[in-house]
Amino acid sequence: TQLLEQSPQFLSIQEGENLTVYCNSSSVFSSLQWYRQEPGEGPVLLVTVVTGGEVKKLKRLTFQFGDARKDSSLHITAAQPGDTGLYLCAGVGNEKLTFGTGTRLTIIP
């Protein structure tokens, strides 16, 4: 069974601060996706990383796929209240998506 552990589970920081969310597994994935989910809505895809060591930037968000394709990180620079939400990583492998345990992020104005 493939498992994806995210840390931290909860994170509450002040607007303007930087933060990093981690997604770790003992399994290798062919690709890894990051989603953000807001209350009352389904998750929305932010990025897909495919190659080991790959780094993708989306404005203030930086995503990295581990060299061994088992882990990933999401770094947010100068967090804003609009970044508040549930962040989910999802690994593609064994013909299905396995979602991580989630990180609930709150940015305090």
Partner 1 sequence: KAGVTQTPRYLIKTRGQQVTLSCSPISGHRSVSWYQQTPGQGLQFLFEYFSETQRNKGNFPGRFSGRQFSNSRSEMNVSTLELGDSALYLCASSLKLAGGFLGDEQYFGPGTRLTVT
Binding residues for partner 1, per CB under 8 A? 1, 30-31, 33, 40-45, 48, 50, 88, 92, 94-102
CB of 73 to partner 1, least distance (A): 19
Question: Smaller CB distance to partner 1: residue 45 or 55?
Answer: 45
Q: Using the Cα atoms of residue 78, residue 80, residue 82 and residue 84 in order, give the sign of their dihedral.
A: positive
CB of 60 to partner 1, least distance (A): 21
